[in-house]
Amino acid sequence: MHPEFDPSVYEAAIRYFGLPASRAVYLDDGAAFVAHTAENARSLRRDAHDAYDYVIHDCFTGGSVPHELFTWEFWEDLRMILKADGVLAVNFAGALKSKATQAVVRTLIDAFPQCRAFTDAYGSHEISDGKELSNMVIFCTPTYSSLLEFRQPFDGDFLDSELRRRVLSDFLWHEISVDSLLPSDLVEATLLRKGSGDLDREQVYSALGTWYAMRDIMPASSWRIY
């Protein structure tokens, strides 16, 4: 199942990236889709075996993420449609010590009892000053389980990709403590629907940092075409 807000993204994925057409793609607002699915699950008292085994949450809108998809209410709905032994993977980019990152992580651990975080910027469980822009993936489960224990990769995991080999081989060295992202003075940071502008305001710094990074990553010719 894959909800996608922009139909052009789905069309481009089929035309240029070989994505097979599928009835499992829903061209809909992700928050609305999850809320509707969760409400159906509650009303039908659906058994756990009908829920999702895993959810990959990767939402990005040109330098920031949509507030609605990171609220406590959204995570509660998502947990409702995730199996008890299911896994949620959340991709998020930002400065590790920014209020935006702290609020996102605070809200996640309020909704999910077990989470582990990995980042592309650090390797010794330390965060330095936390001001650099970093991409992170946070794995969470609805219940405490051994599913967040990651095994060492073997050759079959790499699929003949040097990038996969490099990322997976030192993946565990990039773990950071979730607690280290939660300073003691940030106790009221949970993102709620009623505070719709909170995350948007805090993402200004991260958004600017993302676009500065993109200017370095992409050649000048790409920007001229853009």
Q: What would the pLDDT profile of 175-223 be if each residue is shown by its tens digit? A: 988 888 886 665 557 888 886 566 766 666 666 666 676 777 677 777 6
Cα 134 from chain centroid (whole Å):
13
pLDDT for 95 equals 79
Query: What mean pLDDT do residues 91-109 have?
Result: 86
If one compares 225 and 114, the residue with the highest pLDDT of the two is 114
Query: What mean pLDDT do residues 65-80 have?
Result: 90
pLDDT for 79 equals 92
pLDDT for 57 equals 92
Mean pLDDT over all residues of the chain? 80
pLDDT digits (tens, 9 = 90+) for 23-63: 677 788 888 889 988 988 888 765 544 688 999 998 876 66
Strands 82-95, 133-141: pairing kind: antiparallel
pLDDT for 166 equals 87
Residues 6+ apart with CB under 8 A from 168: 153, 157, 158
Helix (H) or strand (E) holding 173: none
pLDDT for 124 equals 43
pLDDT for 141 equals 93
Residue 142 has pLDDT above 70, yes or no: yes
DSSP reduced 3-state for 72: helix
Residue 22 has pLDDT above 80, yes or no: no
DSSP reduced 3-state for 142: coil
If one compares 34 and 21, the residue with the highest pLDDT of the two is 34
Q: Whats the size of the chain, residue-wise?
A: 226
Residue 85 has pLDDT above 60, yes or no: yes
Q: Are 107 and 70 in contact (CB under 8 A)?
A: yes
